[in-house]
């Protein structure tokens, strides 16, 4: 057993000593992307960088042993710097082999006791990002600066939060901050229902459990807004004319904002 443990340790050490991405080197301008995480939240790279944020990306897949070992470190880092509400943004991008359910199960099993960074599966558009970045192996991590350039395409080793912090460029010294994630979704227990779901293309009904004023937005799998509408009733049928596929419906009211997945047959 000791020999096996030693071999695993040497393998992981060898992995993190190599370069991590085929398509980007330090100083390269990174292409924009939009993805949707397992909770139905859209993330756009250039929107984050335009706010002056540094974006850390973790590439993983559920059956990757190294990913299982290091995921709690990435989540601790995410938690320490405010759960994407500060100057540091963390996103986990799947290799393209796992669906939302697989990634959620992976996070529940291996994500650790901290708040978990947004994770994107094949359902949320991870494949285009993987094709663009082309990781050499998994797990791999990189950081992109506010000017959309690759700051560090080879964050290694990454056994601790301090190792990830070592990728901060000179002069960037973000302060740890508490997370306030999820507060808008739980205020007054606001929620809504969609039916039928899966839908058949003949319209869908939105039912709010608390109603004041509401705006509904529908996003496609790439996070692009394709429909918006103001709800005037607590139960209302809408006709967004959606093709077959997976979509995300976000409803914003004075009580908060909630997003749910919609399947159209």
CATH code for the domain in which residue 88 is found: 3.40.30.10
> What average pLDDT does the chain have?
85
User: Same domain, yes or no, for 245 and 137?
Assistant: no
- Which residues are registered as beta bridge partners of 56? 90, 143
- What's the average model confidence in pLDDT over 103-112? 90
Q: Tell whether 39 is covered by a domain.
A: yes
**pLDDT above 50: residue 96:** yes
Q: Tell whether 176 is covered by a domain.
A: no
Q: Count other Cβ atoms within 10 Å, centred on residue 7.
A: 10
Q: Count other Cβ atoms within 10 Å, centred on residue 5.
A: 9
Q: Give the β-pairing of 88-94 and 119-120.
A: parallel
User: Same domain, yes or no, for 150 and 189?
Assistant: no
User: Same domain, yes or no, for 117 and 220?
Assistant: no
> Which tokens hold the place of 114?
């901290």
Q: The tokens 């301090």 sit on which residue?
A: 162
* Banded model confidence at residue 181, pLDDT cuts 50, 70, 90: low
Q: What percent of the chain has pLDDT over 70?
A: 87
Give me the long-range contacts of 105-110 (CB less than 8 A, separation at least 24).
105/62, 106/60, 106/62, 106/67, 106/68, 106/71, 107/38, 107/71, 109/68, 110/67, 110/68, 110/71, 110/72
User: Same domain, yes or no, for 215 and 145?
Assistant: no
User: Same domain, yes or no, for 28 and 93?
Assistant: yes
Q: Tell whether 67 is covered by a domain.
A: yes
Q: How far apart are CA 164 and CA 80, in angstroms?
A: 12
Write down which residue in 103, 138, 165 finishes a domain.
165
- Which residues are registered as beta bridge partners of 94? 60
User: Same domain, yes or no, for 37 and 160?
Assistant: yes
Q: Residue 259 belongs to what domain range?
A: 183-264
Q: Tell whether 225 is covered by a domain.
A: yes
pLDDT at 211: 67
pLDDT at 209: 80
Q: Tell whether 178 is covered by a domain.
A: no
pLDDT at 127: 95
User: Same domain, yes or no, for 15 and 81?
Assistant: yes
Q: How far apart are CA 40 and CA 30, in angstroms?
A: 24
pLDDT digits (tens, 9 = 90+) for 118-158: 999 999 999 999 999 999 989 999 999 999 999 999 888 77
Q: Tell whether 257 is covered by a domain.
A: yes
If one compares 235 and 15, the residue with the highest pLDDT of the two is 235
Give the range among 5-14, 126-135, 174-183 with minimum mean pLDDT. Answer: 5-14
User: Same domain, yes or no, for 103 and 222?
Assistant: no
User: Same domain, yes or no, for 153 and 239?
Assistant: no
* Banded model confidence at residue 25, pLDDT cuts 50, 70, 90: very high
Q: Tell whether 171 is covered by a domain.
A: no
Q: Tell whether 33 is covered by a domain.
A: yes
Q: How far apart are CA 176 and CA 162, in angstroms?
A: 13
Give the range among 46-50, 52-56, 120-124, 200-204 with minimum mean pLDDT. Answer: 200-204
* Banded model confidence at residue 183, pLDDT cuts 50, 70, 90: very low
pLDDT digits (tens, 9 = 90+) for 229-240: 998 888 889 999
Write down which residue in 105, 137, 165 finishes a domain.
165
User: Same domain, yes or no, for 118 and 248?
Assistant: no
- The pTM of this model reads 0.66
If one compares 218 and 48, the residue with the highest pLDDT of the two is 48
CATH at 228: 2.60.40.1930
Q: Count other Cβ atoms within 10 Å, centred on residue 12.
A: 17
pLDDT digits (tens, 9 = 90+) for 53-68: 999 999 999 999 999 9
pLDDT at 118: 96
Q: How far apart are CA 11 and CA 72, in angstroms?
A: 19
pLDDT at 247: 80
Write down which residue in 99, 132, 165 finishes a domain.
165
Q: Are 66 and 32 in contact (CB under 8 A)?
A: no
CA angle 119–122–127, rounded 5-degree value: 100
Q: Which residues of 70-84 are buried (b: 16+ CB within 10 A; e: fewer)?
A: bbebbbbbbbbbbbb
User: Same domain, yes or no, for 48 and 133?
Assistant: yes
Q: Which residues of 222-241 are buried (b: 16+ CB within 10 A; e: fewer)?
A: ebeeebeeebeeeebebebe
* Banded model confidence at residue 17, pLDDT cuts 50, 70, 90: very low
Work out how many domains the chain is built from and give that number.
Answer: 2
pLDDT at 258: 77
User: Same domain, yes or no, for 153 and 195?
Assistant: no
């Amino acid at each position: 057993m000791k020999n096996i443990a030693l071999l695993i340790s040497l393998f992981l050490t060898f992995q993190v000593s190599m370069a991590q991405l085929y398509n980007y080197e330090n100083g390269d301008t990174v292409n924009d992307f939009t993805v949707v995480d397992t909770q139905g939240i859209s993330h756009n790279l250039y929107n984050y960088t335009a706010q002056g944020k540094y974006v850390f990306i973790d590439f993983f897949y559920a059956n990757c042993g190294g990913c299982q070992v290091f995921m709690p470190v990435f989540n601790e880092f995410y938690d320490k710097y405010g759960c994407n509400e500060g100057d540091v943004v963390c996103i986990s991008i799947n290799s393209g082999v796992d669906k939302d359910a697989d990634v959620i199960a992976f996070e529940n099993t291996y994500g650790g006791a901290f708040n978990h960074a947004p994770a994107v599966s094949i359902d949320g558009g991870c494949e285009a990002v993987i094709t663009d970045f082309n990781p050499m192996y998994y797990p791999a991590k990189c950081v992109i600066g506010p000017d959309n350039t690759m700051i560090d395409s080879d964050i290694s080793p990454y056994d601790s939060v301090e190792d990830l912090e070592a990728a901060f460029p000179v002069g960037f010294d973000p302060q740890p901050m508490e997370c306030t994630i999820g507060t808008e979704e739980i205020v007054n227990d606001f929620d809504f229902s969609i039916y039928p779901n899966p839908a058949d293309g003949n319209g869908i009904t939105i039912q709010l459990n608390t109603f004041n004023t509401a705006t509904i937005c529908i996003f496609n799998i790439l996070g692009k807004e394709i429909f918006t509408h103001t709800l005037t009733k607590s139960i209302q049928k809408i006709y967004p004319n959606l093709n077959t596929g997976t979509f995300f419906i976000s409803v914003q009211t004075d009580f908060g904002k909630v997003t749910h997945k919609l399947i159209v047959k």
